[in-house]
Amino acid sequence: MIFLYKIIFPFVFIFFLPGILWKLIRRPGKKVNYAERFAIYSSGRKKVLESMKNCTWIHAVSVGETNVALSFLKVYMQENPGEKILLSTTTTTGQEIAFSKAPEGVEVFFTPIDFLPFIRKFLRLAQPAKLIIFETELWPNMILETVKSGASAFLVNARLSDRSIKGYRRCSSFFVPLLSAFKVICAQTELDKERYLSIAPSANITVTGNIKFDQKPADSLPEIDLDTEFGSRAGNIRVLAASTHTPEEKVMLDAFMKVREKVPSLRFILVPRHAERGGELMKMLETLPVRSFRRSTGKAEEKCDILLADTTGELVKFYKSCDIVLMGKTFSGNREGQNIIEPAHLGKAIISGPEMINFRQAFDSLKAHDGVFALQKDEELADALLRLASDTELRQKYGKNAAKAVGQHAGALRKTVIELKKL
C-alpha cells in the first residue's frame, strides 16, 4: 500500500492544492515562508538548512503539538547541550507559536508536504540525524525517506483515538511499515500501547505518559487586561468558551443568556478553535440583545458583555483571566474534546459534555476527583453554569480538585527525554 500511496499522492496533492491555498488565505499565523511547504527556499533559508547537518529534526503539526514540542525542547536541550535543533510545523498558527517561543538556537521551518521530491530536497539540504514526531502525524515519505537516509525516527507523546484505531486496523498493511520504522514509540497510556501493538506487534513501544500533564503554566503568567471590555476584574464573573466548534457555540451562548438574567455580572469570552470563523461567529453574536466585541479588530473603546477572541496564541492567558471554563468540542454531539489539562492546572472550574475521547485519561481523572462538571445533555448546561456562577466556594472547590487531579500525572516529559537518551 505504501507503493500505491507514492503513485497516487501527486494526483491527490493536485486535487487538494486549492483547499491548501484557501486555508492559507483564511487562517491567521505566520505565512511569510509558506513556500517551504513546497520545498522552495530563499538562498538565505537554504544556507540555514545546509548548516543543520546531523541535527535533530522535531516535527509538530499545529498549535497544540507545537506547544508540547516546545515544552519537550526545554528539557531535551538541557540533556543534549550543543545539539542542533530544527523545529518544523505544518500550520501557519503553529509556525507563529514556534517562531515566537522557540529557544535560542532552534531553527524554525515549515514542514514540506509529503510529496517525494519535496521530502527528498529537504533531507538533502538538512541531512538530519534524528527525526522526532509528536503525537499522531504519520506521513509515509517523511518517515521512510528519513530512515532510508540513515537517520533514526521516534514517535513521542503518541496516542491512538477510538476513531483512529479503526482506520489503522482497516489499513494495517499501510501502517505496519510506518510504525515499525520508529526506533521507539513513546505512548501516552497502556491502552495506546496495546492499540499500536495490535497493528504492528514488532514495533518497539514504551509507555512514558502524556507530556501535556507537564505543561503547567508559569506562576508569572499574566492575565489579559479586559477592564475596557468588562470593567473591573472583581466586578464580574467571566465564563470562557474554549476551543469551540460548530454548532456548540449556540448552546453555550443560549445558556449564558439564560443565566445572565439571574447573574447580571456574568460576562462571556468566546475562543473558537479556528480563528478564521470569526466573521461567521460575529454575525451570530450581533443577533443577541447584548453588546459584543471582536478582539481581532483592535482594542475595545467601550464595555461589552461578550468578547469574541478570534486571535491565536492567547488561550492560556484567557484561562488565567476567567472564572469558569466551558470545554469546546464536548457539546452538541462533539465527543473528541480539547486540552482540558491547561485550565485544570490553573485551578479553574470546568464544565464539559459527557465525553472526551482524545483526552480520556485526563477527563477520567478529573471526574474521579470532582474536578469537572461532566454533563450528559446540552440542556443541563444552564443549570450547571448557574450553580458555579452563584457559588464562589463551589468554583474554588472544583478548581482545586482539578489542579490536584492533573498534578498527579506529571513526569512524562522527563521520562520521554530519558527514553530517547537511552537509544
Residuewise pLDDT in 10s, the chain (423 residues)? 787 887 888 777 788 778 777 877 777 778 889 999 999 999 999 999 999 999 999 999 988 899 999 999 999 999 999 899 999 999 998 999 999 999 999 999 999 999 999 999 999 999 999 999 998 889 999 999 999 999 999 999 999 988 888 888 988 888 999 999 999 999 999 999 999 999 999 999 999 999 999 999 888 899 999 999 998 888 899 999 999 999 999 999 999 999 999 999 999 999 999 888 999 999 999 999 999 999 999 888 889 999 999 988 899 999 999 999 999 999 999 999 999 999 999 999 999 999 999 899 999 999 999 999 999 999 999 999 999 999 999 999 999 999 999 999 999 999 999 999 888
Can you list the domains of the chain with their CATH numbers? 18-215+411-422 (3.40.50.11720), 227-407 (3.40.50.2000)
DSSP code at position 62 = S
Torsion-angle region of 337 (φ positive above 0: left; ψ -120 to 50: alpha; else: beta):
left
Cell 521530491 belongs to residue:
117
Cell of 317: 492567558
Q: Are 153 and 143 in contact (CB under 8 A)?
A: yes
Closest residue by Cα to residue 9 from 117, 128, 163:
117
- What does the alpha-carbon distance between residue 329 and residue 244 come to, in Å, rounded to a whole number? 6
Secondary structure in 3-state letters for 316-335:
HHHHHCCCEEEECCCCCCCC
Distance CA 168, CA 162 (A): 10
Q: pTM here?
A: 0.88
CB-based contacts of 76-80 (< 8 A; 24+ apart in sequence): 76/417, 76/420, 77/103, 79/417, 79/418, 79/421, 80/56, 80/421
